[in-house]
Structures are given as C-alpha cells and as structure tokens.
Amino acid sequence: MEMTGATLVAEKIIAFEDAQLHTQAFGDPAHPPVLLIMGVMSSMLWWPERFCEELAAQGRYVIRYDQRDTGLSTCYPPGEPDYSFSDLADDAIAILDGYGIEAAHLVGMSMGGFLAQEAALRHPRRVRTLTVISSSPLGVDGLPSSTKAYQEHSAAAESLDWSDLGAISDFLRRDSAMLAGTRHPHDAEAASALIARDMGRTASFASATNHFMLLSEDKAATLHASRIDVPVLVIHGTSDPLFPIEHGEAFIRVAPTAQLQRIAGGGHEIHDQDVDEMVRVIADHTGF
C-alpha cells in the first residue's frame, strides 16, 4: 500500500479463467464502494488521480482498473480478442467478487458507460447506482452522430500503422485535442504526458484496438436503458463532439430514474477544472 496525497492507495490483481485484471483502490474499504469503468482503448490512468482521491475523500472506496488489452491487464494479439463485449461487462462484476463486494456504485465513461449499463441490466443486485459520463443509452436509436470534424479525424485511424508507436502517439495527441470541449483551454502538455505514460505501461498497446471489434457486436434486444431500475446519474458535456449532448438528454427520456448534470462547454473528457463539479454530483448520487 502507499499514500497518494492523504489517500491510502492499494493495488490488487484479480485473476480468473484466462485473464488477469490490474486494479487500484483509493480510500477506506469500509466506505461505500465505487467502481470506475473507463472507455475504449483507455487504461485506468484516464481516471485522473485527483478525481479518485477527491471522491475517496468524500467517503467512498474508489476502485479503478485496466480493462483487458489495456495497461497491465491481460493483452491479446491485435485483431484476435478472445472475449466479448459482455465479457468486459462481466469483468466489472468479477472485480467486485475479487474485492469481496456484494454491490457497488458503478461509474462508466464513454464505452465504459455502455459496459456499466450492461452490468446493471444483467446483474442488478450487484449495482447500487449507475453514473454514466459522456456516453449514450443502450438500445436507443436515432441520436446524432459525432461531429463531422471528429468523423474526419477518426477516419485517419483506419490507415494508421499501429506498430509505429510514434505515429500512434501523434494520433492520440490529436484525438485528445479533438475531444476537448470549449469551456477550458486544452492542456496539450498534460495530454501528451498521460499518453506517454499510458503507452509505456503496456506490453502491446496495439492490442487495445481490439475494443473496436467489440463495439461492432450486436447487443441483445433486452439490453435497453429503459429497463435500468437503479438510480442513474448522467454527466455530459454540452460540447461533446463524439456523443453530442442529445445522447445525455436521451437518458432522462428513457430511463425512469435518470437525472442529467450538464457540463457547460464540456467535451468528451474529464478535464481537471471539471473534477470538483463531477466529484460533487457523484458523491451526492452515491450517498447511501
């Protein structure tokens, strides 16, 4: 164990079947547990340490983890993921099992928001509340696509040489800038440092592209946000270029327990200057 600021931090490897997941917990295990689920191609480092520390300081036991094919968790050959999207949702429950937690508050970002919804739908007794950040409700069609500028940018990934770490790093830096909102200046230096740290922490960064294969899977017809019966908090930036704000607003139309916290000018990111606001509403939402 170690201390980060005034917060006790512990690391743990959850091993099951053919995978190992690297996890890190902040705070007191006696406090209500909050499991953080990050998005596509992103290790747990994309949950900022200050975010985790401040949420722990609000009396929560905060767990973040590297999903399969990210960070220090099990990696598979690029193009050959030996797991499904539903397996990733079940991984969240396996982590709760590994920590001896009966039920937790789930917080999912982007793709992690889809995974958190699926976990809540398929394992309702294991989920106390759900928080969805910069994501979209499962099973809801007819919502706006990402902005044209972001679509043009992301199309460049199709011709990217994923064995060229320099080219990958350059693309991810551009991606981080494209996903930024309008409320705060984009911190290119901090983004570059995080990308370098993330890339240097895994044996096969190209394996993370396996997540895109999972996103193309057909979801079961029963997986629909309207069937979520735990309290739902939606946090969504009004300038999100990947999932426009209409995706966040759709939650409060279809999910009976949903409430929406708009981040004015926020993008598809957890910006350092928005951490205090986000932690405050999550702490209020998970306060039981």
pLDDT 10s digits, 95-143? 999 999 999 999 999 999 999 999 999 999 999 999 999 999 999 999 9
pLDDT for 218 equals: 57
- Each residue's pLDDT tens digit, 54-91: 999 999 999 999 999 999 999 999 999 999 999 999 99
pTM: 0.95
The pLDDT-based confidence of 16 (bands split at 50, 70, 90) is confident
Locate all alpha helices (DSSP H) within 123-221, ordered by sequence: 148-155, 165-179, 188-199, 210-215
The pLDDT of residue 48 is above 80: yes
pLDDT for 194 equals: 96
Q: What is the mean pLDDT of the chain?
A: 93
pLDDT for 13 equals: 96
All residues at 6 or more sequence positions from 283 whose CB lies less than 8 Å from its CB, including other chains:
55, 58, 59, 60
HSE-CB for 68 with a 13 A CA cutoff:
29
The pLDDT of residue 5 is above 60: no
Strands 61-65 and 33-37: parallel
The pLDDT-based confidence of 247 (bands split at 50, 70, 90) is very high
Among the residue ranges 8-12, 114-118, 149-153, the one predicted with the least confidence is: 8-12
Domain locations in the chain as residue ranges: 2-285
Asked whether the beta carbons of 103 and 126 are under 8 A apart, the reply is yes
pLDDT for 269 equals: 97
Residue whose C-alpha is closest to residue 181's, from 244, 268, 262: 268
CA 263 vs CA 81, 114, 144, 224: distances in Å: 35, 20, 18, 25
Q: What is the CATH number of domain 2-285?
A: 3.40.50.1820
Distance CA 57, CA 62 (A): 10
